[in-house]
Amino acid sequence: MFVFLRNRVLYLLVYLIFHNVVFAGSEPPLIMERLNGEIVFDGVPDESAWLNCKPFPMQMHSPVFGKEPQERSEVRLLFDNEFIYVGASFYMEDPANIMANSKKRDEIKLDCDWLGVIFDSYNDNENGQAFMTSPTGLRTDIAIFNDATGTLRYPPINRSWNTHWDVKSTQNHEGWFSEMRIPVSSLKFQEKDGEVVMGLILQRWIPYYNAIYTFPPIPNEYGDYGFYKVSMAQDVVFPGLKSRKPLYITPYASAGISQLNELNESETQYEYNRDYKLDAGLDLKYGITSNLTMDVTLNTDFAQVEADDEKVNLTRFNLFFEEKRQFFLERASIFDFNTGGSSTLFYSRRIGLDSEGQIVPILGGLRLIGRNNGWDMGFLNMQTMSSDSLPSENFGVLRIKKRVLNENSYAGGIYTSRIGLDGSFNQVYGLDALLRITGDEYLKVLYGQSFENDMANIPVSLDNSRYGISWQRRKNVGFYYDLFLLGSGPEFSPGIGFESRSDYNMYGALVNYAWLMPESSVILTHGPGIEYRDYFSMSRGIHESGKYEIGYNVLLKNNWEFRVELDYETEHVFDTFDFSDDAFIPAGQYATPQMDVSINTPVTRSFWIRFYGNTGGFYDGYMTSLHLTPSWSLSSSLMLSGEYRYSNVNLPVRDQKYIVHIARMKAMAMFSTRLSLSAFIQYNSDSHKVGSNIRFRYNPREGNDLWLVYNDRVNTDLNREIPYRPRMAGRTIMLKYTYTFRL
């Protein structure tokens, strides 16, 4: 059956390629104006240079596409050889309705008015760079990938990406105003015949009206991230713009102390250890050509990175944790090779972290990123030191993509290698293509293989292969869907990748219908959705698991959201597995019904809550889980947020119970857009620990940072095992300073 389906889809792919479907053209490009005169960079675009520049016409994106905006909005753009300037005048009939609830770097929320400027700098209709600000003048920059196609669970944006730019904002009785100054060197692009063509999207978000305006007009039928959709951007031309070849040299110095209580070799008692650290390193960024950028890192340090959120795994599959380290985030979409869900052939957390999330020192690395004649290229090579669990290893990644057929399609490949000094090795290659067939219809195909020491490594076998074929309608209004066929062999092992599960063939579908309601309705969209997945063990040739779900979603125009789902899941557990010291699931076949309910209050308000609840069968027992996420912006200087997860598993057949609580709270004090103090504390009843993270940051400009970081872990149940645990598990205090020389 799998061979038949695979052959039919491949036949369709070949047919469409050779029949070369014709696509509608876009609007003619607009010519951008050079700066003529002087600009005082003070957050008020009132100089004659601004006033002589025609503003872009903005239209409502949501809640009613095409409706005349309620408020006057003027955004202008100018450029010279050094900067691209953006000036915005956002008038408000009643300025008291302007919301500005944050000053934090990278904190753009729906309870804040904002200005967004998005550049598709390579004009590839897939990737973008967003620069966003608010009435408080905060700076948020976001990397956009996959043409902003994704979900809240798998967002197509990366908020952790940062680059060099400045902004100032002001507010008065007429509204709020802003000026951005984006260095040409922060935007990588291609010059052709003395011109540079980019895609441009402008945004204004007004939480008081729950409304977003955009230029150009973007229909509100592409989901939660539709207003980032770079394939809908307006092409703009910068005549005579020349790329800059920046050289940024960023040394750092850090000092700290770590205290640990660890078991001795005989495991008879805990011993207290103290370790002092004094370290230094260097990052370098250089624009080799207008299309090729090199990053070098030596003795890489990530002491300032926020701790991972605690998670509980009630399955036999792997958990995914997001990358938070800045070095791996810039233009990370170039290296993206997603194989379904969170699975990917390149997962940067494999570098510098072991399987338990413990730090493995990085000696250094090199990264090259560029684009030329429609080819995207990314190269990465890094060397780590040895650790208690891993030998010293070399990691290599090469990723290439080429636009084919039309401006929304590509074909490419990836190669990864992981070589240890102990003789171990892992090598993976992958080939993929994303093809826009017509309109919003997309076909994606991929295939890859891994080769590893102590494995058979047969080049023509599916045992060490990964494949996928999917057909997707990229819309969120009307009838839309995602049909897919995926597989992963029992010996497939991406050494620098992530696989949530292995040894399976799977086919399935996501089928939805959504009604976009008229202006008179309080409902924005609503409609049903069906999810269907069946997994078959590749090595055993039998059905392994299945998921069959029907749900209904309602989104109101005031941003209340409701969803209910009915699930039916089947599992064939081949080997007994445990998820705690007190509970396990024996081998056998299971079928369980479940019900999920989620409610989100309006995130456009200063205080909002997200609630998720689940109840129903769990293997040969039953489970109830709750997930509550509140957030409260007390002012632009103080923000509180929290999260609480509760899971109660009851397995009466074996008289087993498993109850776990995870609670976390975050507080952020923002003294200015440059000075902040954050605190993060979390409790996990499963690990019997409380962890805290306190970070002080002074960021006078991009690339210059002073960090003071405190981390600790405290044991809560000291007598649960012998030898008794000490109260303190570990504590670290670290001071780090980075300074960027711009040459």
Average pLDDT over residues 39-66: 93
What radius of gyration, in Å, describes the C-alpha atoms of the chain?
26
In the predicted structure, residue 23 carries a pLDDT above the cut 70:
no
Average pLDDT over residues 592-604: 94
Strand 30-31 relative to strand 234-239: parallel, antiparallel, unpaired? parallel
**Confidence band for 43, pLDDT divided at 50, 70 and 90:** very high
How many percent of the chain have pLDDT more than 70? 93
- 490 domain residue, yes or no: no
Average pLDDT over residues 500-509: 92
- 740 domain residue, yes or no: no
Q: Which residue has the tokens 């030329």?
A: 372
pLDDT the model gives residue 24: 36
In our burial notation (b when 16+ CB lie closer than 10 A, e otherwise), range 252-286 reads bebebeeebbeeeeeeeebeeeeeeeeeebebbbe
In the predicted structure, residue 563 carries a pLDDT above the cut 70:
yes
Average pLDDT over residues 637-648: 94
Asked whether 628 and 587 are in contact (CB, 8 A), the reply is no
Tell me the pLDDT tens digit for each residue of 268-305. 888 888 989 898 999 898 888 777 889 899 988 776 66
- 535 domain residue, yes or no: no
Asked whether 220 and 210 are in contact (CB, 8 A), the reply is no
- 213 domain residue, yes or no: yes
- 89 domain residue, yes or no: yes
Q: Tokens for 143?
A: 């990397």
In the predicted structure, residue 578 carries a pLDDT above the cut 50:
yes
Mapped onto helix, strand or coil, the DSSP state of residue 620 is coil
- 317 domain residue, yes or no: no
In the predicted structure, residue 582 carries a pLDDT above the cut 90:
no
Count up the domains in the chain and report the number.
Answer: 1
User: In angstroms, rounded to a whole number, what is the distance separating the alpha carbons of residues 576 and 586?
Assistant: 4
pLDDT the model gives residue 310: 63
Asked whether 132 and 142 are in contact (CB, 8 A), the reply is yes
Mean pLDDT of the chain: 88
Asked whether 453 and 427 are in contact (CB, 8 A), the reply is no
In the predicted structure, residue 34 carries a pLDDT above the cut 70:
yes
Considering only 5-9, 329-333, 427-431, which range has the smallest mean pLDDT? 5-9
The three-state DSSP-derived secondary structure of 82-133 is CEEEEEEEEECCCHHHCCCCCCCCCCCCCCCCEEEEEEECCCCCCCEEEEEE
Q: Quick one: DSSP state of residue 353?
A: B
User: In angstroms, rounded to a whole number, what is the distance separating the alpha carbons of residues 169 and 416?
Assistant: 45
Q: Tokens for 267?
A: 């495991």
Asked whether 524 and 561 are in contact (CB, 8 A), the reply is no
Mapped onto helix, strand or coil, the DSSP state of residue 151 is coil
Sort 185 into a burial class: Cβ within 10 Å, 0-12 / 13-18 / 19+. Answer: buried
Q: Tokens for 545?
A: 């698991």
How many percent of the chain have pLDDT more than 90? 56
User: In angstroms, rounded to a whole number, what is the distance separating the alpha carbons of residues 270 and 265?
Assistant: 10
The three-state DSSP-derived secondary structure of 260-281 is EEEECCCCCCEEEEEEEEEEEE
Mapped onto helix, strand or coil, the DSSP state of residue 174 is coil
User: In angstroms, rounded to a whole number, what is the distance separating the alpha carbons of residues 133 and 208?
Assistant: 17
Tell me the pLDDT tens digit for each residue of 212-228. 999 999 998 888 888 99
User: In angstroms, rounded to a whole number, what is the distance separating the alpha carbons of residues 288 and 282?
Assistant: 18
Helix (H) or strand (E) segment spanning residue 14: helix 2-19
pLDDT the model gives residue 12: 43
Tell me the pLDDT tens digit for each residue of 176-187. 999 999 999 888
In the predicted structure, residue 192 carries a pLDDT above the cut 90:
no
pLDDT the model gives residue 35: 93
Handedness of CA 124, 130, 131, 135 (dihedral sign): positive
Tell me the pLDDT tens digit for each residue of 371-380. 877 788 999 9
Tell me the pLDDT tens digit for each residue of 100-123. 988 988 888 888 999 999 999 888
Q: Which residue has the tokens 């509970």?
A: 583
CATH number at residue 162: 2.60.40.1190
Tell me the pLDDT tens digit for each residue of 666-708. 999 999 999 999 999 999 988 888 999 999 999 988 888 999 9
∠ CA 633-636-639, rounded to 5°: 35
Q: Tokens for 685?
A: 């009843």
Higher pLDDT, 580 or 153: 580
Range of the domain at 166: 32-239
Q: Tokens for 469?
A: 């074929």
Query: How many H helices and E strands in the chain?
Result: 2, 44
User: In angstroms, rounded to a whole number, what is the distance separating the alpha carbons of residues 596 and 617?
Assistant: 12
User: In angstroms, rounded to a whole number, what is the distance separating the alpha carbons of residues 275 and 730?
Assistant: 11
Q: Which of 217, 215, 29, 201 is nearest to 129 (CA)?
A: 201
Please state whether 557 falls in left (phi above 0), alpha (psi between -120 and 50) or beta.
alpha
User: In angstroms, rounded to a whole number, what is the distance separating the alpha carbons of residues 113 and 74?
Assistant: 15
Q: Tokens for 524?
A: 């924005």
In the predicted structure, residue 332 carries a pLDDT above the cut 80:
no
Tell me the pLDDT tens digit for each residue of 446-455. 999 999 998 8
**Confidence band for 263, pLDDT divided at 50, 70 and 90:** confident
**Confidence band for 460, pLDDT divided at 50, 70 and 90:** confident
Kindly provide the residue ranges of all beta strands, DSSP E only, lying in 404-496, ordered along the sequence. Answer: 410-420, 425-438, 441-452, 465-473, 478-488
pLDDT the model gives residue 20: 39
**This model's pTM is above 0.85:** no
User: In angstroms, rounded to a whole number, what is the distance separating the alpha carbons of residues 73 and 58?
Assistant: 7
pLDDT the model gives residue 262: 84
- 554 domain residue, yes or no: no
User: In angstroms, rounded to a whole number, what is the distance separating the alpha carbons of residues 397 and 366?
Assistant: 11
User: In angstroms, rounded to a whole number, what is the distance separating the alpha carbons of residues 88 and 137?
Assistant: 12
Average pLDDT over residues 228-242: 92
Tell me the pLDDT tens digit for each residue of 151-162. 766 788 888 778
Higher pLDDT, 328 or 131: 131
Beta bridge pairs of residue 250: 283
User: In angstroms, rounded to a whole number, what is the distance separating the alpha carbons of residues 628 and 277?
Assistant: 39
Q: Which of 741, 737, 735 is nearest to 276 (CA)?
A: 735
In the predicted structure, residue 524 carries a pLDDT above the cut 60:
yes
Beta bridge pairs of residue 637: none
C-alpha of 204 from chain center: 22
pLDDT the model gives residue 454: 84
The three-state DSSP-derived secondary structure of 553-591 is EEEECCCCEEEEEEEEEEEEECCCEECCCCCEECCEEEE
Q: Which of 146, 137, 192 is nearest to 167 (CA)?
A: 137
